[in-house]
Amino acid sequence: MTTTQKPQSMLREASHQIIAGGSALVEICLMHPLDVVKTFQIQRGNSDPTSYKSLGDCFRTIFRNEIFGFYKGILPPIVAETPKRAVKFFTFEQYKKLLNLTPLSSGMALSVAGLGAGLTEAVVVNPFEVVKVSLQANRDAFKEQPSSFAQARRIIKSDGFGLRGLNKGLTSTLGRHGVFNMIYFGFYFNVKDAIPANPNPTLEFLRKFTIGLVSGTISSCVNIPFDVAKSRIQGPQPVPGEIKYRTCFQTMALVYREEYLALYKGLVPKIMRLGPGAVMLLVYEYVSGWLQRNW
């Protein structure tokens, strides 16, 4: 009796995470332009005459030349985001249950569970990131660009599925997602438990939203060097035919030595993107809670 009940319970729990993760679609459509602008971090200084001079110049140029350019590379995140969120939340809950059996404090267990969820999520999402970044870095007009599937086929045909092809930059993606989720989940749940809940539903929503926004901002400030390294490795290399950015930490060291502050390129649009992103855990909590009560 117990053996048949457990898989059903696990299946139901997984279904809850997939449904809650489906809310990602609206956030992607609203915030993808900021993700395109964030790919500004691929550039090396202003030596390239076609390079964007600043974040504002990047916005203005894309808006003036082709407004649909803000939606370059949108299909991979749309396809990836629901399974990615499902994996993130489902594995977070499973890691949390396992870590509750260890001597770790509850606060530390939440951070370690977040780290595990982020690393698992990174493995799922990295191939989509490779395709997305290669499309966003392409300066051709939106209509002239290859489709996401054609781009994926081209990458597989030329470089395969491995660390030179569809899984290029995997270490940087592991660092980006692992560090972000470790801080994000650890900070969010620990601070939320420390600050008493408010009986007023509006004030309670604002309490959780503020904690989510602060935790996301801190996480972004810490993990942005991994994000820059990922973009440099997955984007076009400065000299065609020559691989300059090879590995995560080699790229970070190189960018630090040559450009220094470029390790924080794209931080502003990344933090701006967190407005709806701060609702991510709230949506998860409310939708998951409703599903547990009613299904």
Per the structure, the complete domain to which residue 131 belongs is given by 22-294
pLDDT in tens, 217-265: 899 899 999 999 998 999 888 888 889 999 999 999 999 999 888 899 8
**pLDDT, greater one: 17 or 155:** 155
Whether residue 3 has pLDDT greater than 60: no
CA-closest candidate to residue 36, choices 176, 256, 231: 231
Q: How many domains does the chain have?
A: 1
CA 131 – CA 178 distance, rounded (Å): 21
Calculate the alpha carbon distances from 45 to 39, 40, 58 in Å.
14, 10, 14
Q: What is the mean pLDDT of residues 268-286?
A: 70
108 lies in a domain? yes
**What pLDDT, on a 0 to 100 scale, did the predictor assign at position 5?**
41
Whether residue 163 lies inside any domain: the answer is yes
CA distance 253 to 75: 32
Write the DSSP symbol of residue 50: T
pLDDT in tens, 115-146: 999 999 999 999 989 998 888 777 665 567 78
Q: In this predicted model, what pLDDT tens digit does every residue of 16-70 receive, in sequence order?
A: 666 665 555 666 676 667 777 665 545 655 555 556 666 677 767 777 776 667 7
Among 43, 42, 28, 18, which residue's Cα sits nearest to residue 73? 28
Q: Residue 6: inside a domain, yes or no? A: no
Identify the sign of the CA torsion 167, 225, 35, 115: positive
Q: In which band, very low, low, confident or very high, does the pLDDT at 2 lie, cut at 50, 70 and 90?
A: very low
pLDDT at position 55 is: 62
pLDDT at position 156 is 95
Q: Which residue has the tokens 């407004």?
A: 67
Report the percentage of the chain scoring pLDDT > 70: 76
Residues 295/63, Cβ–Cβ less than 8 Å = no
Q: What is the H or E stretch that residue 86 is in?
A: helix 75-99
Q: How much is the pLDDT for 6?
A: 45
Q: Is residue 252 part of a domain?
A: yes
Regarding pTM above 0.85, the answer is no
Specify if 39 maps to a domain. yes
In-domain check, residue 7: no
Task: Name the residue type at position 142.
Answer: F
Question: Which CATH number fits the domain that encloses residue 129?
Answer: 1.50.40.10
Please tell me the distance from the alpha carbon of residue 29 to that of residue 284, in angstroms, as a whole number.
18
In a domain? residue 172 = yes
CA distance 210 to 106: 22
Cβ(244)–Cβ(238) below 8 Å:
yes
Distance CA 197, CA 7 (A): 34
Q: Is residue 186 part of a domain?
A: yes
- For residue 177, give Cα distances in angstroms to 61, 63, 104, 180, 183: 30, 30, 22, 5, 10
DSSP assigned state of 197: P
